[in-house]
Structure 1
Amino acid sequence: MSQGTPPLTVHCGSKDDDFGNRTFYTGQDFNWSFRTNFWGSTLFFCRFWWGQKTTAFDVFDANWETKGFHHTYTYVVNNQGFYVRYDETPSNHMLQINKWP
């Protein structure tokens, strides 16, 4: 997010965990770690509010993981949308995964 932009409010959770609403300003971050459940059905989702814009999507699904290898997902939000990179991806290569409506 650029300097001078409104704060971003995020609500993330899963079936078993709820991180509540968190408000972020330019340069702030939020992270958590976990292990997928025995059944391989772990799913985390987030809803985002930025000014008048809102959107929601899954930020982790156990089905995305390659057996035996677990990723670190890094998400970045800006006025164009949402970007992700994985731990083995170069830091200058972000994939756009969602746009603001």
Structure 2
Amino acid sequence: MSSSKPSISLLAYIIIILLVAGTCSAELTVAIFNTLPANAPPLDLHCKSGDDDLGPQTLGLSQMYTWKFYTNFWGTTLFWCNFWWDGKHAGFHVYDSTMMPYEVHGLLHFVYEARPDGFYFYTPDTYTSHTFQWQLVKKWE
């Protein structure tokens, strides 16, 4: 009988550690800006993860859509979005654990702009760790 108590205590300890570790990750933000031309149709998008469906959204000119989240304990959180504009489509991962965020005052951001030729990501410059630049990550199809 006494041998079952340590395993229950160990299981409870592991569960508590997992719960605490999951709440200690940094809050992340994804931001998508519509910088398409004036008088252009709106940008439609639909973003999801394995756990969350953020639902369809429509962005007018100069509008922004953002959401905040925490990564899961295993570091496998993945968000992807599908975009539609002017008869064109683009779909890609907007967050995974390998991406480098734009950090402002300790807050981590993943920032995108929709432009007429595709989507740009605000990313660290490959030559310096202190400079950021816009990089084309997905062209319209």
TM range (shorter): 0.7 to 0.9
Q: 2:73 aligns with which of 38, 41, 44?
A: 38
Q: What residue is the counterpart of 2:12 in the other structure? A: none
> Could you state the TM-score of these two structures normalised by the residue count of structure 1?
0.85
The CA deviation at 1:95 is 0.6
Partners of 1:59 and 1:25 lie apart in 2 by: 20
SS in 1 for 2:111: strand
Partners of 2:131 and 2:69 lie apart in 1 by: 21
Matching residue's letter, 2:38: Q
What are the equivalent positions in structure 2 for 1:76-91 lying under 5 Å apart? 76-86=113-123, 89-90=131-132
Contact 1:73 1:85 in 2 (8 A): yes
Large movers: runs of 4+ above 2 Å: 63-66, 86-90
What are the equivalent positions in structure 2 for 1:14-25 lying under 5 Å apart? 14-25=49-60
Matching residue's letter, 1:19: L
Partners of 2:65 and 2:78 lie apart in 1 by: 17
Contact 1:12 1:45 in 2 (8 A): yes
* Structure 2: gaps spanning 5 or more residues: 1-35, 125-129
Number of residues paired by the alignment?
97
Matching residue's letter, 2:65: F
The CA deviation at 1:74 is 0.7
Matched, 1:26 2:66: no
SS in 2 for 1:2: coil
Q: Deviations over 1:38-91 (max 9, x none)?
A: 01100000000102111210000123359xx9841110001111001048654x
Partners of 1:78 and 1:4 lie apart in 2 by: 14
| Greater fraction helix | 2
Partners of 2:70 and 2:41 lie apart in 1 by: 33
Q: What residue is the counterpart of 1:98 in the other structure? A: 138
Q: What residue is the counterpart of 1:72 in the other structure? A: 109
* Structure 1: gaps spanning 5 or more residues: none
Q: What residue is the counterpart of 1:51 in the other structure? A: 86
SS in 2 for 1:40: coil
